[in-house]
């Protein structure tokens, strides 16, 4: 598993051991990252988003290094549940995108990220606005408290905007899985995302936009 476990044992009511989740590490820096107005990343020397492709199981270490160096970043995290062979429930906090951390900074920040020898590559992001909007939508989904599933590849579907419920205003793709509809917030740069079961929320189609798979066609 590409993550540390954040668990704490305590006595359960049945005399066994229950494992509960501890507070996760900060997933972004600085604290006002999402309060800042988007910058024009096309300007030479300006702050912009970069996508860091990490070596295996190095996502959180990269995030710690960036935070220590006071370099802006976002590492999307989600709670994953599993069970031991004896049936005990484990909760862990894992990256939504295995092997990727998003850095927000200038060229000096990019060079700082390369110092730790934890990266396989640094990917330049040309469409800054789209990535910024995708990350903001994804964070709203991840902080909703709803049970989520990582989507390693984006399936075709209708682009909608949620009109009611805890995700009101969020735009994403609706896909069908089994007998249930799921709402997917996608980071287009990676063609990956996270999904949640679409409950009895009202949605409206977003006219004039297509899903990733439709564009690829």
Domain count, the chain: 1
End-to-end Cα spacing for the chain: 34
Asked if 30 contacts 115 with a C-beta cutoff of 8 angstroms, the reply is no
Exposure of 141 by Cβ count < 10 A (0-12 exposed, 13-18 middle, 19+ buried)? Answer: buried
pLDDT at 140: 95
Is the residue at 4 inside a domain? no
CA 186 to chain centre: 9
Q: Does residue 192 sit within a domain?
A: yes
Question: Residue 17 pLDDT more than 50?
Answer: no
Above 80 in pLDDT, residue 41? no
Per-residue pLDDT reduced to its tens digit, 163-208: 999 999 999 999 988 888 999 999 999 999 999 998 888 899 987 6
**Of the ranges 91-100, 135-144, 154-163, which one carries the lowest mean pLDDT score?**
154-163
* Mean of the per-residue pLDDT values of the chain: 84
Is the distance from CB of 136 to CB of 106 less than 8 angstroms? no
Q: Is residue 106 part of a domain?
A: no
**For residue range 48-84, what is the model confidence (pLDDT) as tens digits?**
999 999 999 999 999 999 999 999 999 999 988 888 8
What integer pLDDT is reported at residue 116 of this predicted model? 86
Higher pLDDT, 18 or 145: 145
- Residue at 137 is within a domain: yes
Q: What is the pLDDT of residue 213?
A: 41
Which tens digits make up the pLDDT trace of 95-133? 999 999 999 999 999 999 999 899 999 999 999 999 999
14 within domain boundaries: no
Dihedral over alpha carbons 201, 206, 211, 217 (to 10 degrees): 140
Question: Within 13 A of 171's CA, how many CA atoms are on the CB side?
Answer: 14
Tokens of 105: 């900074």
Residue with tokens 């740069």: 189
Amino acid 199: pLDDT: 85
Q: What pLDDT is recorded for position 210? A: 52
Under 8 Å CB-to-CB from 73, ≥6 apart: which residues?
Answer: 28, 29, 62, 63, 66, 67, 101, 102, 103, 104
Mean pLDDT of 3-24: 45
Residue 209 has what pLDDT? Answer: 58
More confidently predicted of 132 and 89: 132
Residue numbers of the domain that contains 180? 129-217
pLDDT at residue 70 in the model: 97
Does residue 98 form part of some domain?
A: no
The CA-based angle 151-59-194, given to 5 degrees, is: 15
């Amino acid at each position: 598993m590409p993550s540390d476990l954040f668990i704490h044992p305590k006595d359960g009511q049945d005399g066994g051991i229950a494992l509960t989740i501890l507070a996760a590490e900060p997933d972004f820096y600085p604290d006002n990252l999402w309060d800042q107005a988007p910058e024009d990343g096309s300007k030479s020397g300006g702050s912009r988003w970069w996508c860091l492709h990490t070596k295996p199981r190095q996502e959180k270490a990269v995030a710690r290094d960036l935070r220590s160096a006071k370099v802006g970043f976002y590492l999307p995290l989600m709670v994953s549940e599993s069970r031991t062979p004896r049936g005990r429930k484990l909760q862990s906090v894992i990256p939504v995108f295995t092997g990727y951390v998003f850095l927000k900074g200038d060229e000096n920040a990019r060079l700082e990220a390369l110092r730790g020898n934890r990266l396989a590559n640094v990917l330049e992001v040309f469409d800054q606005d789209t990535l910024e909007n995708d990350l903001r939508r994804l964070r709203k989904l991840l902080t909703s408290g709803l049970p989520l599933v990582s989507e390693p590849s984006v399936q075709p579907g209708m682009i909608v905007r949620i009109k009611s419920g805890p995700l009101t205003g969020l735009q994403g793709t609706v896909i069908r899985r089994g007998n249930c509809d799921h709402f997917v917030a996608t980071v287009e740069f990676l063609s990956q995302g996270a999904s949640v079961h679409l409950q009895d929320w009202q949605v409206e189609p977003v006219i004039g936009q297509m899903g990733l798979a439709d564009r690829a066609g």
